[in-house]
Amino acid sequence: ATPTPTAAQQWTTDANEALSLSLVRAPDDKASLWAREVYEGFHPTFTYPIFGEEEKIYGYKELSIDLKFASGSLVQYLNVRYAEKLPSSSTVDDVEGTISKFIPPGYYTDEQKFLERVEHDALNFKPFGQKIYSYTRAATTLTKGKNVAISQVLSPEDQETVDFEVYHSTWHTPGFREFHRRMQLFVLLYIEGGSYISEAEDTWEFVVLYEKRRRRSSPDVTTYHFVGYSTLYPFYCFPERVRLRISQFLILPPYQQDGHGSALYTAIYQHVLNSPSIAELTVEDPAEAFEDLRDRNDLKMLIANEKFMREGFGPEAVSSNGGKVARTKRGKSRTMRAGAGKMGPPAERAWLEKWRTELKIAGRQFNRLVEMLILKHMD
Ligand code: ACO
């Protein structure tokens, strides 16, 4: 028999379950790609930065916290509901008071007014900054792993492809600072150990990914819907360039597992390659899932580079040492490794360094990638 909960347990709620998030589209934009199950009522992974280490809220029964975002502008609506609340005392959590410390003032509490704003923003919101990357997806791939049937989200007359665009901005991009204040909550809710960045630090850069849609009723009207973003910090790199570091990186749950993280990472990498002032791309304290995403995309990029692969891993690229990996793994004495031809270790190091600087990959990451390619070539 399940033990009867103590009085304290009866009044305690799991904050991650109680808090539910929604990305709200105007009715006219919903028909295109829309499933309530996917875009409304998803939950945070973490709430400890807001509600404390235990991620519990005390003093309520049937507590539900509804935090909605206009899908493009991220204008917010907050509603706290419960069946019962303990008489006010110092131990009862002030839910709205606590959350309001983490979101900018001026959020909506009147749902009707919020929905009017959603409608207004749907027509008026445009991404901030400069477009640096775009890609297109077949609409049918967009529900993979979401546990919803494609027929639930797409009507027969729906568009067959969906565009996604990445925009680059800084604190100086008009309107972006306010947008960032609404967006940054996602860092606390989804990145372990994540915290707000300082607006006083002037050099931050940002890339934001949006889904771009044409309205069903008026296809000439374009609407934008937030998918994810990354914060980037440029460090001085001797003698006259910068090393760009990915600091925060996230894709919202409704869009995860569809390759958007990879696309956003690729957008950042292409931006680095295209910017003469940037020497290399690095990552701050990557979570395992992000490390995985980075490895997969970097490897794909290297394997697609014919010249690099031919010089390093082609038939003539067998060098005199470095067979250690091969021998320990397979017991074979093959010594294939990166490095052109029969050049000795110093020349090989120079060859690797030449490619590393050209491809703007950080040293430790490049070494890991080369190791992985060696292992792959053993098979
Ligand atoms: N269709 C279906 N699946 C796909 C597709 C596709 N078209 N493309 C890729 N996938 C699979 C990949 O194979 C991968 O599978 P795996 O999990 O077995 O490795 C998986 O989807 C993830 O790849 P993406 O879809 O490209 O990545 P996603 O968009 O899910 O983003 C991320 C990954 C960024 C980690 C996301 O889950 C997230 O934001 N998590 C929460 C926040 C976080 O942890 N951020 C990183 C912190 S570290 C930092 O900030 C530096």
- pLDDT (tens digit, 9 = 90+) per residue, 265-312? 999 999 999 999 999 999 999 999 999 999 999 999 999 999 999 998
| Reported confidence tier of residue 40, pLDDT bands at 50, 70, 90 | confident
Q: Classify burial at 195, counting beta carbons within 10 Å of its beta carbon; exposed 0-12, middle 13-18, buried 19 or more.
A: exposed
Interatomic CA distance for residues 291 and 246, integer angstroms = 12
Q: Which residue has the higher pLDDT, 311 or 344?
A: 311
Q: Which residue has the higher pLDDT, 223 or 322?
A: 223
| Residue pLDDT, tens place only, 5-14 | 888 889 999 9
Q: Which residue has the higher pLDDT, 154 or 232?
A: 232
- The residues facing 78 across adjacent strands are 67
Residue closest to 15 by CA, chosen among 80, 67, 63: 63
| Reported confidence tier of residue 329, pLDDT bands at 50, 70, 90 | very low
Pocket test for ligand 1, best of 250, 268, 295 (most atoms within 8 A of CB): 250
Choice among 131-145, 189-203, 206-220 with the minimum mean pLDDT: 131-145
Q: Which residue has the higher pLDDT, 168 or 142?
A: 168
Residue 25 has pLDDT above 70, yes or no: yes
For the chain, domain boundaries:
10-302, 305-378
pLDDT value of residue 4: 79
Residue closest to 58 by CA, chosen among 90, 93, 82: 93
Is 252 within 8 Å of 289 (Cβ atoms)?
Answer: no
Q: What number is the average pLDDT over the span 344-356?
A: 90
pLDDT value of residue 331: 37
Is 371 a catalytic site residue?
no
pLDDT value of residue 219: 81
**Helix/strand number for the chain, H first, E second:** 16, 14
Interatomic CA distance for residues 106 and 181, integer angstroms = 12
256 C-alpha to ligand 1 centroid (Å): 6
Pocket test for ligand 1, best of 136, 262, 285, 298 (most atoms within 8 A of CB): 262
Minimum-distance ligand 1 atom for the alpha carbon of 261:
29
- Could you tell me which CATH number the domain at 10-302 has? 3.40.630.30
Beta strands in the chain (DSSP E): 12-14, 19-24, 40-42, 56-58, 60-61, 64-70, 76-81, 84-85, 130-138, 161-170, 205-214, 222-237, 241-251, 278-283
Choice among 191-200, 208-217, 230-239 with the minimum mean pLDDT: 208-217
Residue having the nearest C-alpha atom to atom 31 of ligand 1: 261
Residue having the nearest C-alpha atom to atom 45 of ligand 1: 250
Q: Read off the pTM.
A: 0.91
* Mean confidence (pLDDT) of the chain: 88
Is 11 within 8 Å of 59 (Cβ atoms)?
Answer: yes
pLDDT value of residue 215: 82
Pocket of ligand 1 (CB under 6 A): 141, 144, 190-191, 246, 248-251, 256-262, 283-284, 286-287, 289-290, 292-293
Is 136 within 8 Å of 89 (Cβ atoms)?
Answer: no
> How large a percentage of the chain has pLDDT more than 70?
84
Q: What number is the average pLDDT over the span 172-197?
A: 98
Q: Which of 54, 199, 284, 371 is catalytic?
A: 284
Residue 190 has pLDDT above 70, yes or no: yes
pLDDT value of residue 37: 61
Interatomic CA distance for residues 109 and 5, integer angstroms = 33
pLDDT value of residue 340: 43
| Residue pLDDT, tens place only, 66-120 | 999 999 999 999 999 999 999 977 889 999 999 999 999 999 999 999 999 999 9
Tally of residues, the chain: 379
Residue 64 has pLDDT above 70, yes or no: yes
Minimum-distance ligand 1 atom for the alpha carbon of 137:
7
83 C-alpha to ligand 1 centroid (Å): 38
Minimum-distance ligand 1 atom for the alpha carbon of 289:
35
Minimum-distance ligand 1 atom for the alpha carbon of 230:
50
Q: Classify burial at 325, counting beta carbons within 10 Å of its beta carbon; exposed 0-12, middle 13-18, buried 19 or more.
A: middle
114 C-alpha to ligand 1 centroid (Å): 31
pLDDT value of residue 175: 97
| Reported confidence tier of residue 122, pLDDT bands at 50, 70, 90 | very high
pLDDT value of residue 110: 98
> How large a percentage of the chain has pLDDT more than 90?
71
Highest mean pLDDT among 38-42, 148-152, 270-274: 270-274
Residue 244 has pLDDT above 80, yes or no: yes
Pocket test for ligand 1, best of 166, 227, 256 (most atoms within 8 A of CB): 256
Q: What number is the average pLDDT over the span 154-181?
A: 87
| Reported confidence tier of residue 157, pLDDT bands at 50, 70, 90 | low
Residue 199 has pLDDT above 60, yes or no: yes
Give how far Cα 220 sits from Cα of 21, 155, 213, 215, Å: 30, 19, 10, 7
54 C-alpha to ligand 1 centroid (Å): 27
